């Protein structure tokens, strides 16, 4: 089923929208002369692709590729670091300028499921549906649904591997529902696979890369799948056929980026929004910054709006940067992670990232409770004030705000946990390396704080903790070096012994129960770091922690003893015949359902090892 990618790539599917906010937004967004692909090529690509810079294919080679493929390379392929400062319009223009019309993605998979084999038809339902099996975001799979215990984990074996054609990144959060696995990809292809064998039921081409979990929402007779992509589109598909029910842009801002998975309640989905604006700002000509973090509540039925809540006020012009380009604020407070549903209190909790420009707001680096019905902010607990930052700060760029960071976002969800003392608490881990616990019955009053890592721009707790109601488990990234913005992604030189580590904390007081140190890269290799940035996954007795070194490891929740280890940074033969290899594991953690463990491997962003594989493990 390939419907959207026709000839030249339209910008946002032909809708070149005007900002609804009118006069208060940058002129460049409204009236600037249209960019031409030739100009963009000269400015951003020619210095390598016309000059024979090592390994860079010549312009003539790029001209044999499809425009859609070149765009994917800029969005989430080898050139994504080069493209950080580029606006959507510029990416589309240069892709159309260079590439051939049409697409080069495979139209039919090599391993379709047998005729008559229907999605969602497994005899027993074992599900991990969305970012977490439960809307409290504990990332804990119970014994019945997991169908996997410590004894089996010790003997997990690879059952099948699936390759994402043409991709160098494999970072999406899988969802498992009634025997079918739904997963997005860097190339923007959403796939419905048989969880047991990896055969393909259907694929759906999204407009941009999809890394958020595909959320199934029951609709009476079947399920509707809801998810966002990394260029700001939200989709609803029929789970059985993969047919599009509706799609829409969540935000008007061109830099919108949807990483956080949606959650649903009573036919309404809540979708968080983050952005690329931090990296757009490395261009001194960029009018920094106008993106505002938000949550949007939509009816699953038709995508109509229930409410929208912004984390900062409408940005106003605040002056100019040192090269005379207008500056705007407040901005930022993006939401990178999945919201947490609290039906008992009628609240939706989100965690926010930093501001991008001054004035800084009280809603950045915060845990925020919204009214589920109206979206109104009920309370805000900020853990770090005055954290305004853009990627321009890394190289003393002109679009670095005066506060200059430290960029201690919350990148992961808050967990609503039943502690052993009978109390419910909210636990959130921050890039600062600190885990915080809040009282949901006292407007988020701070209960305890424990440092589990050093913290940093790509440091501390990044993508997600997990809790079994006894302890909370937090792994840290703490990688030694960050983001290569000069050339192709991947292969950075990290300190092979620095970073990572997994800590178990008691829920009552945040005291450390145990600490499992990280494993140095052995042997050290480009793109390898011991950092444990990806989200954790729990079943009774076992916590899984993937690493940037490519290993997926499992630890006993009792004492942190390592009970299983698999190195994914190698080549695999795949069920769909696509050449594939694993690399760093980052972003989404594994998901576990029906006795199987699924994990994506390959994450060259920030310098890690590339890869394009989805792996499925089961007991011997």
Quote the Cα angle for 170-456-377, to 5°: 85
Distance of CA 66 to the CA centre of its chain: 26
| CA–CA distance, 581 with 604 (Å, rounded to integer) | 12
Token representation of residue 262: 């949606």
Distance of CA 117 to the CA centre of its chain: 31
For residues 83 and 269, which CB has a smaller minimum distance to ligand HEC in the complex?
83
Please state the closest distance from residue 529 (CB atom) to ligand HEC, in A. 19
Enter the DSSP assignment of 277.
H
User: Whose CA is closest to 424, among 438, 410, 445?
Assistant: 438
Please state the closest distance from residue 610 (CB atom) to ligand HEC, in A. 9
For residues 416 and 578, which CB has a smaller minimum distance to ligand HEC in the complex?
578
Please state the closest distance from residue 58 (CB atom) to ligand HEC, in A. 10
Please state the closest distance from residue 96 (CB atom) to ligand HEC, in A. 11
Scored b (16 or more CB within 10 A) or e, 39-65 reads: ebbeebbeebbeeeeeebeeeeebeeb
For residues 55 and 157, which CB has a smaller minimum distance to ligand HEC in the complex?
55
User: CA–CA distance from 505 to each of 235, 384, 467, 468, 513 (Å)?
Assistant: 38, 22, 10, 11, 5
Cβ atoms < 10 Å from Cβ of 29: 18
Give the footprint of ligand HEC on this chain (CB under 6 A): 44-45, 47-49, 53, 55-57, 62, 65, 70, 73-74, 77-79, 82-83, 94, 486-488
Phi-psi region of 427 (alpha: psi -120 to 50; beta: other; left: phi over 0): beta
| CA–CA distance, 428 with 464 (Å, rounded to integer) | 9
Q: Are strands 424-429 and 415-418 parallel, antiparallel or unpaired?
A: antiparallel
Please state the closest distance from residue 79 (CB atom) to ligand HEC, in A. 4
Token representation of residue 143: 């014994």
Please state the closest distance from residue 62 (CB atom) to ligand HEC, in A. 5
Strand 156-163: give its sheet, edge to edge.
156-163, 613-619, 596-601, 591-593
For residues 79 and 502, which CB has a smaller minimum distance to ligand HEC in the complex?
79
For residues 58 and 151, which CB has a smaller minimum distance to ligand HEC in the complex?
58
Contact 316, 328 (CB under 8 A): yes
For residues 47 and 445, which CB has a smaller minimum distance to ligand HEC in the complex?
47
For residues 98 and 370, which CB has a smaller minimum distance to ligand HEC in the complex?
98
N-to-C CA span, the chain: 36
For residues 7 and 38, which CB has a smaller minimum distance to ligand HEC in the complex?
38
For residues 70 and 295, which CB has a smaller minimum distance to ligand HEC in the complex?
70
Rg (CA), the chain: 22
The dihedral built from the CA positions of residue 164, 37, 397 and 384, taken in this order, carries a sign that is negative
The 3-class SS string of 332-365 reads ECCCCCCCEEECCCCEEEEECCCECCCCCCCCCC
Please state the closest distance from residue 618 (CB atom) to ligand HEC, in A. 32
For residues 49 and 211, which CB has a smaller minimum distance to ligand HEC in the complex?
49
Token representation of residue 443: 């407007």
Please state the closest distance from residue 61 (CB atom) to ligand HEC, in A. 8
> 138 φ, ψ to 5°?
-80, -15
Please state the closest distance from residue 32 (CB atom) to ligand HEC, in A. 18
What is the 3-state composition of the chain as percent helix, strand, coil, each rounded to the nearest 5?
A: 10, 30, 60
Please state the closest distance from residue 47 (CB atom) to ligand HEC, in A. 6
Please state the closest distance from residue 78 (CB atom) to ligand HEC, in A. 4
For residues 42 and 121, which CB has a smaller minimum distance to ligand HEC in the complex?
42
For residues 95 and 181, which CB has a smaller minimum distance to ligand HEC in the complex?
95
Please state the closest distance from residue 72 (CB atom) to ligand HEC, in A. 8
For residues 78 and 369, which CB has a smaller minimum distance to ligand HEC in the complex?
78
Contact 564, 154 (CB under 8 A): yes
Contact 414, 426 (CB under 8 A): yes
| CA–CA distance, 125 with 180 (Å, rounded to integer) | 10
Please state the closest distance from residue 54 (CB atom) to ligand HEC, in A. 6
C-alpha dihedral (613, 557, 147, 600), degrees to nearest 10: -10
Please state the closest distance from residue 291 (CB atom) to ligand HEC, in A. 22
For residues 106 and 267, which CB has a smaller minimum distance to ligand HEC in the complex?
106
Q: Are strands 189-194 and 591-593 parallel, antiparallel or unpaired?
A: unpaired
Token representation of residue 481: 């070096």
For residues 67 and 264, which CB has a smaller minimum distance to ligand HEC in the complex?
67
Please state the closest distance from residue 604 (CB atom) to ligand HEC, in A. 10
| CA–CA distance, 277 with 257 (Å, rounded to integer) | 9
DSSP lists the bridge partners of residue 428 as: 436
């Amino acid at each position: 089923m390939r419907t959207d990618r026709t000839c030249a790539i339209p910008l946002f599917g032909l809708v070149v929208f005007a900002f609804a906010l009118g006069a208060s937004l940058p002129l460049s967004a409204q009236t600037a002369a249209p960019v031409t692909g030739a100009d963009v090529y000269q400015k951003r690509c020619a210095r390598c692709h016309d000059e024979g810079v090592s390994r860079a294919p010549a312009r003539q080679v790029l001209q044999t590729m499809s425009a859609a493929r070149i765009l994917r390379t800029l969005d989430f392929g080898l050139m994504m670091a080069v493209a950080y400062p580029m606006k959507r319009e510029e990416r589309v223009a240069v892709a159309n300028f260079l590439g051939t019309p049409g697409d080069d993605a495979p139209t039919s998979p090599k391993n379709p499921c047998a005729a008559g084999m229907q999605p969602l038809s497994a005899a027993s339902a074992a599900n991990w549906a969305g970012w977490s099996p439960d809307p409290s975001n504990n990332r804990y799979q119970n014994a019945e649904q997991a169908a996997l215990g410590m004894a089996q984990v010790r003997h997990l074996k690879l059952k099948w591997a699936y390759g994402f054609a043409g991709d160098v990144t494999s970072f999406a959060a899988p969802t498992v529902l009634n025997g079918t696995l739904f997963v997005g990809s860097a190339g923007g292809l959403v796939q419905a696979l048989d969880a047991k064998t990896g055969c393909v039921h259907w694929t759906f081409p999204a407009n941009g890369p999809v890394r958020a979990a595909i959320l199934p929402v029951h609709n009476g007779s079947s399920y509707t799948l809801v998810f966002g992509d990394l260029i700001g589109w939200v989709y609803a598909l029929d789970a059985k056929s993969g047919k599009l029910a509706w799609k829409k842009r969540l935000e008007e801002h061109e830099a919108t980026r949807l990483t956080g998975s949606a959650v649903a309640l009573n036919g309404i989905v809540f979708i968080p929004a983050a952005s690329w604006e931090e990296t757009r700002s490395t261009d001194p000509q960029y009018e920094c910054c106008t993106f505002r973090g938000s949550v949007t509540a939509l009816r699953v039925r038709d995508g109509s709006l229930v409410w929208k809540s912004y984390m900062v006020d409408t940005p106003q012009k605040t002056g100019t940067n040192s090269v005379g380009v207008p500056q705007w604020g407040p901005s930022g407070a993006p939401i990178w992670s999945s919201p947490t549903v609290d039906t008992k209190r009628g609240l939706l909790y989100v965690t926010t990232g930093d501001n991008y420009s001054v004035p800084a707001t009280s809603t950045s680096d915060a845990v925020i409770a919204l009214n589920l019905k109206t979206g109104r902010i009920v309370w805000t607990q900020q853990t770090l004030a005055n954290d305004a930052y853009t990627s321009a700060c890394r190289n003393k760029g002109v679009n670095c705000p005066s506060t200059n960071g430290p960029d201690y976002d919350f990148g992961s969800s808050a967990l609503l946990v039943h502690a052993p003392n009978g109390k419910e608490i909210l636990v959130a881990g921050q890039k600062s390396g600190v885990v915080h616990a809040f009282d949901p019955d006292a407007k988020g009053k701070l209960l305890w704080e424990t440092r589990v890592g050093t913290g940093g721009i790509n440091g501390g707790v990044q993508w997600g903790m997990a809790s079994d109601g006894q302890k909370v488990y937090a792994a840290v990234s703490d990688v030694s070096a960050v983001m290569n913005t000069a050339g192709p992604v991947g292969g950075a030189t990290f300190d092979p012994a620095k970073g990572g580590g997994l800590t178990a904390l008691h829920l009552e007081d945040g005291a450390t129960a145990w600490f499992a140190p990280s494993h140095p890269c052995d042997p050290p290799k480009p793109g390898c770091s011991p950092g444990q940035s990806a989200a954790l996954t729990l079943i009774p007795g076992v916590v899984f922690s993937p690493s940037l070194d490519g290993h997926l490891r499992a630890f006993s929740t009792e004492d942190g003893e390592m009970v299983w280890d698999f190195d994914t940074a190698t080549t695999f033969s795949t069920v769909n015949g696509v050449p594939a290899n694993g690399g760093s594991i980052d972003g989404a953690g594994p998901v576990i359902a029906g006795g199987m463990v699924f994990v994506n491997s390959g994450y060259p962003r920030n310098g890690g090892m590339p890869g394009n594989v989805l792996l499925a493990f089961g007991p011997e």
